[in-house]
Structure 1
């Protein structure tokens, strides 16, 4: 056994540990899928099962009763996620890079402003009035993008990475060669900072995709509902109808049988689909950037 080789016992133990960790990630998703295709009465009688006795597609039939609404909500969420992530990463980097530079004259002021907003906020009412009255973004697609464009936490992460991983000597060398600030940033700093760009991009992707609060606050036009908010409304309606079916004449029995639990699980699967594809894309840049950041002779 060489110095860099682990023992056979340690190798087996590591394989077992990683297999168990993989199962811990996959089994909940499989269980959610099996519940979504389980008959509702079977869930009431037998609970959650990996191998249900009776299968049913009632949940998916209810969700896709008007499939055009789902497709439209998917389009809104995809556009908001892609556009918001790109703009947010760009704004975050253009704010973090100057305050990471020791030679920037006003770096202390701008660093204080971004840190101050982490500790104190104006509250919901002023926040709402700025976007609806001052910026007039109500019932527009930008109301789902602009409020989350800049996160102080992400700015501080990126600022720290620039300070720790981008050598000042490279920036000085680019100045000597006649490169301007933007050229230095996009040709020198950006290639060396792919790991932090991928990290912030992943944070923003998850944030935009899972957001439903902005749709609830700023949007009343059904054509602009995001997927998450649409699912929230559908689940709320299904719960209300199933619990108050006796108050609606002539349909109490049918409404009481609405598959509320299976609808929740089906909604979870529908919402998780596209976001899973983002992980392999960002993972590629995590690995690629591990050896970047040093001065090479």
Structure 2
């Protein structure tokens, strides 16, 4: 069917609006990428940097020469991988029984989880809880402390996805002698790749981008997160390793603090962007299917 003039005008306006929004999102990344590869003279030029006129890799050399970058990268990678996998595991074993209509008091249990979405203990009680259970200055605080181990919103989406799966598959497995755990890990989980990829991506992005809990719970510099280091580099400039790096760059003629900060930002962004294309094919399907049935 041919579109009317009104529909054509709407399509053009929608594409133009989405294009402008996309450009507004891409602008800071393009600018940072250009500055990170620029010479000092080009980097301090006012205005938008679309591409470097003179390419220089010195800022990236200074960035990768920083010991704290590699320490933060390792801690953040451990947190992201271990935290995402454990989060999916605990959400799966929690969401599966909640998806069963014959579970006694299922609505009550669900409401208990939903309650935590609107009412939480707050910063000080959470800090005291972490302190009393001995997780201060421990890498496991990023994984076990609230709210990363189980996200209520993700838990409900996973529960709804499990509810949408045919119950006949579970009945057939139980007739063959499988128990509930065997059904979950041998039947349900292989069919749940879309929702696992979607929620795993959400958890990984949340873990990778988190910095506040690293600043709050960690004092040992050997356990510092990459994002916490990045914040000190960009905002505070008070960490000794960061200040030494900045002093070194200030004394050199081939780099300036602006190019080093830009290169550090790019280094922290690229890993999580690389992961996304491998999960994209599951992303939309997982969100839509997991949100249909409640």
Question: In structure 2, do the counterparts of structure 1 residues 189 and 288 end up closer, same or farther at CA, with 3 Å as the change threshold?
Answer: same
Q: Is this contact kept in 2: 1:235–1:263, CA < 8 A?
A: no
**Separation (CA, whole Å) in 2 of partners of 1:63 and 1:48:** 23
**Counterpart position of 1:277:** 274
Q: Is this contact kept in 2: 1:239–1:260, CA < 8 A?
A: no
CA offset digits 1:144-174 (Å, max 9, x no partner): 11121111010011111111x2112222222
**Counterpart position of 1:265:** 262
**Separation (CA, whole Å) in 1 of partners of 2:205 and 2:179:** 34
**Separation (CA, whole Å) in 1 of partners of 2:180 and 2:192:** 16
Q: Is this contact kept in 1: 2:232–2:238, CA < 8 A?
A: no
Q: Is this contact kept in 1: 2:31–2:50, CA < 8 A?
A: yes
**Counterpart position of 1:247:** none
Question: In structure 2, do the counterparts of structure 1 residues 281 and 55 end up closer, same or farther at CA, with 3 Å as the change threshold?
Answer: closer
**Separation (CA, whole Å) in 2 of partners of 1:48 and 1:213:** 30
Q: What pairs with 1:250-261 in structure 2 (closer than 5 Å)?
A: 259-261=256-258
1:226 to partner: Cα distance: 0.9
**Separation (CA, whole Å) in 2 of partners of 1:288 and 1:159:** 15
**3-state SS, counterpart of residue 277 of structure 1:** helix
1:230 to partner: Cα distance: 0.9
**3-state SS, counterpart of residue 101 of structure 2:** coil
CA offset digits 1:111-164 (Å, max 9, x no partner): 11110000101111111111111x11001110111121111010011111111x
Show structure 2 runs of 5+ residues with no match: 1-10, 240-249
**Separation (CA, whole Å) in 1 of partners of 2:54 and 2:237:** 22
1:229 to partner: Cα distance: 0.8
**Counterpart position of 2:140:** 142
Q: Is this contact kept in 2: 1:139–1:220, CA < 8 A?
A: yes
Segment drifting more, 97-106 vs 118-127? 97-106
Equivalenced residues, count? 266
> If you compute each CA radius of gyration, which structure gives the higher value, 1 or 2?
1
Question: In structure 2, do the counterparts of structure 1 residues 139 and 282 end up closer, same or farther at CA, with 3 Å as the change threshold?
Answer: same
Are 1:120 and 2:119 an aligned pair?
Answer: yes
TM-score between both structures, scaled by the size of structure 1: 0.76
Q: Is this contact kept in 1: 2:30–2:49, CA < 8 A?
A: no
Question: In structure 2, do the counterparts of structure 1 residues 237 and 55 end up closer, same or farther at CA, with 3 Å as the change threshold?
Answer: farther
Are 1:63 and 2:63 an aligned pair?
Answer: yes
Q: Is this contact kept in 2: 1:35–1:48, CA < 8 A?
A: no
**Separation (CA, whole Å) in 1 of partners of 2:184 and 2:251:** 62
Q: Is this contact kept in 2: 1:238–1:260, CA < 8 A?
A: no
Q: What pairs with 1:148-167 in structure 2 (closer than 5 Å)?
A: 148-163=148-163, 165-167=164-166
Higher relative contact order by CA 8 Å / sep ≥ 6: 1 or 2? 2
Q: What pairs with 1:83-102 in structure 2 (closer than 5 Å)?
A: 83-102=82-101
Are 1:34 and 2:15 an aligned pair?
Answer: no
CA offset digits 1:31-75 (Å, max 9, x no partner): 321111224443444423224445555644553453x22112111
Question: In structure 2, do the counterparts of structure 1 residues 55 and 192 end up closer, same or farther at CA, with 3 Å as the change threshold?
Answer: closer
**3-state SS, counterpart of residue 175 of structure 1:** helix
**Separation (CA, whole Å) in 1 of partners of 2:237 and 2:42:** 19
**Separation (CA, whole Å) in 1 of partners of 2:80 and 2:193:** 19
**Counterpart position of 1:72:** 71
**3-state SS, counterpart of residue 103 of structure 1:** coil
